[in-house]
Amino acid sequence: MTTLGVTLASPWSLAFLPDGRMLVTQRGGALVIVRADGSAVDAVVSGVPAVNSAGQGGLLDVALDPDFATTPWVYLSYAEDGPGGSGTALARARLVGGELRDLQVIWRQQPKVASGIHFGSRIVFRPDKTLYLTVGDRGQDDPGAPTTRFAQNPATTLGKVLRLNRDGSVPADNPAFGAAGALPGLWSLGHRNPQGAALHPGSGELWLTEHGPQGGDELNRVRAGANYGWPLRSYGCPYGAPVGDACRVGGGTHAPDFEEPASYWVPTSTAPAGMAFYSGNKFPEWRGQLFVGALAGRTLWRLELDAGGRVVAREPVAEVQALGQRIRDVRQGPDGWLYLLTDEGRIVRLERDG
């Protein structure tokens, strides 16, 4: 394991450019390009949209267009201000040298709310070049909060996964939720704060991690039109409840009314963040396995899945746990190593000893 030389300010997400350099978001609003060897920042990118960096907000995820080599669009999720408070937004722009040009805001959370938490914000492209965007419930649905069950309401985009075309329009084959006022673009609902997302390399399905309340963090296999239960079900408990299972929200068990998580963390939270399925050749024994960063747990989880997609083993990576840093994002590099982005401002390369 090698900690690279660059030091960043509250980094949130990382994407590899075709030349091996790294495009990194910093929550305060800066988008930077880091040298391929990780030694220093090469450039601070201009033209980034204005962000609200209060609380958990700011400049969040970054993803490259599937056709970036010929049409260099970069996609950014972030917290933006507007009527009623703030909300998750999605924009795209062309990266030309160290500048974003032709910026377009292609999607905005509905409604905006007066909250600084639970933005979600992961962007994942599918093989068909449509994209998923995860959106948190913005803290509106926690037990004890004045709730209107936003995550269960298809007339809002809080607590949802969206599927969009690259220009922000809605694919014709998205699921229909059949409820009055249902907004376009919804893929699934009943999510709390999905801060990690990745495609399974075999099935092409979206998997995501989301924060529970006090315990109950989930790994979910996301299916079209499915409901994942929040805030009606959780294996977690309201904040301040005695540690145990008697306080689980809605009794905990999701089925048969909602989708059961593929894995969950109890009795306390690990706060799962960015995630990646490993498909490289540096760790052949890990190929097909899932790696999930943890904030409260300050580690990297390794999850082994069987051929049917069932989680059969889960353990923290001891070397990363000893590092003691909050793992915000996990990416497989073009060199086949795993790269970790930490809240402490470091890029760590997980590599084989010797």
Residues with catalytic function: 118
Sequence-ordered strand ranges (E) for 158-299 = 160-164, 186-189, 194-199, 206-210, 217-222, 263-265, 272-277, 290-294
Rounded CA-CA distance 257/238 in Å is 21
Rounded CA-CA distance 38/32 in Å is 12
Q: What is the dihedral of CA 307, 311, 312, 314, to 10 degrees?
A: 140
State residue 322 phi and psi, 5-degree precision: -70, -25
Structure tokens at 10: 């509250």
Rounded CA-CA distance 77/95 in Å is 15
Distance separating the N- and C-terminal Cα atoms of the chain: 11
Angle at Cα 56 formed by Cα 52 and Cα 57, nearest 5°? 25
If you compute the radius of gyration of the chain from its CA atoms, what whole number of angstroms results?
Answer: 19
Give the DSSP letter of residue 288: T
Other beta carbons within 10 angstroms of residue 85's beta carbon come to: 16
Angle at Cα 27 formed by Cα 97 and Cα 198, nearest 5°? 80
Rounded CA-CA distance 17/186 in Å is 30
Rounded CA-CA distance 6/227 in Å is 41
- Tell me the sheet residues that pair with 96: 99
